[in-house]
Structure 1
């Protein structure tokens, strides 16, 4: 009675990882140091006891969840590893199920951004926040569609509606400067990756939430909430780009709340679109599909043709992740048809939507077909369908010059298509060009794609000169992910 049983779940993941017990112990210790848990010091014998059924103490279960999730490119929860669930204290700003009210939204963003700034280390979320998926994620997000109380003044506007004097003062030039700064950060991200200016964006977000502690006329308040939503979304995207997935999800959720307070349905749909993109990256296609359908439904009366085209393209990406060939192809066609209906110029679109050009459309749809080559039984046909689209994207982004990281992603995409067509030398050539860019931008997401493509090339075509050269370059030029500032 009471004898421990081997942890078969952990053992299965451990075997598939290819790690030795010593390597897992070293990674746990390294991650623990990154998050300030200096009391953690494990070794091979301790790992053996975990495999035999011993339950490690916090923060080790969360650390192991992060390590295995990064190893496999999809969410591996504490429960998946057969480790006990740790009950976390519920506080304002924790998790994704937050109250939909302006005061609590401001409080949550202020507290979370302050914590991010103070705890300047990649792993600080490892002991306080985990990635949320499945119903625990989708159900709270559905409340985005719920209208607020009819006629009830929001707490932030209550003072104004009660006839009291506004406490906040913001001139039009100051408001425009805030909007211009947000756009500048967005351009920096596209050119340099999320790791270079992430902390600056978080700092600006925190400053704007300080402004929202004051009272303003309703139009000013909504405008400030719109800026807050854009900054929180950008902080989320940058966190996602550098591999901080729980943090990215948290900022996305906060951005969605701020967009609701701004009354900006199109931007709220855009936040959900990037939440879907993150789930695709983590190989959670069903969650991605739920999120994109929620975005489509919520913006059905407000989205422009450009945004509708983006939504269809991301729906196709979600379908490709789960191998739905016909539904993916239908969404691709709808994205192309809708894009052809765009009447506004790029300059007439909101700043946050201008990135979605014809090159981006080709990139998304090409990658949908490329993914179907892996997830369906029509690999060769799907690779052939992907090639002209990704080629078009590569050519256009090469001429563009402003979206450096996106250009590199499409180079990697083309490399994977060439591998599917068993052309290793061509694949290596494209991937080496992506390595040149990855050295200059700070994007762990890009680094991961490059590493995986190089590993796939070496697995199937080791000995080919270009493939071996690529493998050597990746080892020397793509460093292991370290803490970002």
Structure 2
């Protein structure tokens, strides 16, 4: 690994063999790892961090870096290997946080949910400039995640007393008017549109700020009907903050917002939206290489909303179930879930009932995109199977065609262009892959989404590795280096 100890600060320290093992297997150089740490730190708002090759060498020699470096390294190695690599797996120490800050096993009660939403959103807003709180969070996975989420299904105690005002309080009950509540809800819709058009990096802090304002209103005495609407608004904002955090690469932060969104949805009595939150958590687990966890979360969502979700929501859940089965490597169950998604989607809107805005994104384009990615994922799990790649191709083509006409969902357009590019790589058609990747690069430059950027980089890296002698691939590699921005700050 080159180089000896980094001087007196390492006297008496033993080399960190665990970190060294992960580092060697990653294939990164010390300089490359240092650059990635710095980029992720800037993205998280930790501008004081400036890592170089000598610092990386000291970590390998046994120096224990201070937060947020351990969490950044955990995320980088997790993404590199496609599965959760905990801080402890790297031979590093974690900062001790109170359960309310770091855990996902939280009390299922209204006052505590409001307090935790307020605490976490305030920390997100206030600490961003000094090194974002999310860097000291631990990602939960396996039973530590699934078991607390299962309590979503447990009915709330009947007749739970409303929170009393503190003794001597002179505050009067808040009288939010119906137009004011309508405006809060329409603002959430606007934020959701911005996210779809521009990616999670552009307005994340605005969403967190709005969430904090709503929790302030929930801390005031409210009529029960108003309180439920505010909890619903808080749930939608928290889910959106989680989704935007996921989109820009803040994975532990995203998970914490998702968990809090599920708690708020329970307080609002909104089971369909709770199932949607669980689907977002499932998607994150697939991204992190935990398809078994993803499947359990989706099954929990399906069971909890089986008697109240609209056909469009049910179709979305079936499509996510298919993604989980694909990544586990169960083709027959994946294909069955794909068929169920298609059949259920055909019933969407037939009853004439208006759909909630949060599920409006699940269009024919999105259905085709999800199902195409399920077949594409099956192809990878099955050892780059051309059969599954061929199954994916016409469905992905339809998704690209439909998203190409949709100005609102530009990030989805980019992701499906990249998906189509990967299908052509699986079919050993590098020239066609390059055409699609170039289109995706054009969209990526307009959309602030590190998820899009990362997928594009990985796709081009794969093309360069497998078809490095193809002139078009070499040219695309040069274009990517010149045009794709570094990881954007989460704002």
User: Could you say what secondary structure the match of 1:277 adopts?
Assistant: helix
> How far apart, CA to CA, are the structure 2 residues paired with 1:371 and 1:91?
36
In structure 2, runs of 5+ residues without a counterpart are 1-11
Q: 1:240: which partner in 2?
A: 246
1:285 aligns with 2:291: yes
> How far apart, CA to CA, are the structure 2 residues paired with 1:22 and 1:409?
29
> How far apart, CA to CA, are the structure 2 residues paired with 1:394 and 1:65?
34
Deviation at 1:20, TM superposition (A): 2.2
Q: 1:103: which partner in 2?
A: 111
Q: 1:185: which partner in 2?
A: 191
Relative to structure 1, the CA distance from residue 440 to residue 78 in structure 2 (aligned partners, 3 Å threshold; closer, same or farther) is same
1:17 aligns with 2:26: yes
Q: 2:159: which partner in 1?
A: 151
1:303 aligns with 2:309: yes
> How far apart, CA to CA, are the structure 1 residues paired with 2:445 and 2:29?
29
CA RMSD of aligned residues (A): 2.5
Alignment of 1:204-219 (within 5 A): 204-219=210-225
Q: 2:173: which partner in 1?
A: 167
1:389 aligns with 2:398: no
> How far apart, CA to CA, are the structure 2 residues paired with 1:218 and 1:432?
53
**Is the 1:109–1:209 contact (alpha carbons within 8 Å) kept by the matching residues of 2?**
yes
Alignment of 1:22-61 (within 5 A): 22-25=31-34, 27-28=36-37, 36=46, 38=48, 44=53, 47-48=56-57, 50-53=59-62, 55-61=64-70
Relative to structure 1, the CA distance from residue 123 to residue 19 in structure 2 (aligned partners, 3 Å threshold; closer, same or farther) is farther
Deviation at 1:315, TM superposition (A): 0.4
**Is the 1:415–1:453 contact (alpha carbons within 8 Å) kept by the matching residues of 2?**
yes
Q: 1:417: which partner in 2?
A: 423
Relative to structure 1, the CA distance from residue 345 to residue 429 in structure 2 (aligned partners, 3 Å threshold; closer, same or farther) is farther
Query: Which of residues 366, 369, 376 in structure 1 aligns to 2:375?
Result: 369
In structure 1, runs of 5+ residues without a counterpart are none
> How far apart, CA to CA, are the structure 2 residues paired with 1:225 and 1:484?
25
TM value normalised by structure 2: 0.90
- 1:407-445 alpha-carbon deviations (Å, 9 max, x no partner): 111111110001111111110000100000000110000
User: Could you say what secondary structure the match of 1:149 adopts?
Assistant: coil
> How far apart, CA to CA, are the structure 1 residues paired with 2:485 and 2:475?
17
User: Could you say what secondary structure the match of 2:469 adopts?
Assistant: coil
Relative to structure 1, the CA distance from residue 216 to residue 329 in structure 2 (aligned partners, 3 Å threshold; closer, same or farther) is same
Query: Which of residues 68, 87, 96 in structure 2 aligns to 1:88?
Result: 96
Q: 1:66: which partner in 2?
A: 75
The range that moved more, 284-293 or 42-51, is 42-51
> How far apart, CA to CA, are the structure 1 residues paired with 2:394 and 2:416?
12
> How far apart, CA to CA, are the structure 1 residues paired with 2:279 and 2:113?
20
> How far apart, CA to CA, are the structure 2 residues paired with 1:28 and 1:416?
27
Relative to structure 1, the CA distance from residue 328 to residue 172 in structure 2 (aligned partners, 3 Å threshold; closer, same or farther) is same
**Is the 1:69–1:75 contact (alpha carbons within 8 Å) kept by the matching residues of 2?**
yes
> How far apart, CA to CA, are the structure 2 residues paired with 1:124 and 1:66?
14
> How far apart, CA to CA, are the structure 1 residues paired with 2:377 and 2:298?
18
Query: Which of residues 131, 136, 139 in structure 2 aligns to 1:128?
Result: 136
> How far apart, CA to CA, are the structure 2 residues paired with 1:134 and 1:250?
15
Relative to structure 1, the CA distance from residue 101 to residue 403 in structure 2 (aligned partners, 3 Å threshold; closer, same or farther) is same
Deviation at 1:483, TM superposition (A): 2.0
Q: 2:365: which partner in 1?
A: 359
Relative to structure 1, the CA distance from residue 61 to residue 363 in structure 2 (aligned partners, 3 Å threshold; closer, same or farther) is same
Q: 1:112: which partner in 2?
A: 120
User: Could you say what secondary structure the match of 2:128 adopts?
Assistant: coil
**Is the 1:122–1:244 contact (alpha carbons within 8 Å) kept by the matching residues of 2?**
no
User: Could you say what secondary structure the match of 2:173 adopts?
Assistant: coil
User: Could you say what secondary structure the match of 2:84 adopts?
Assistant: coil
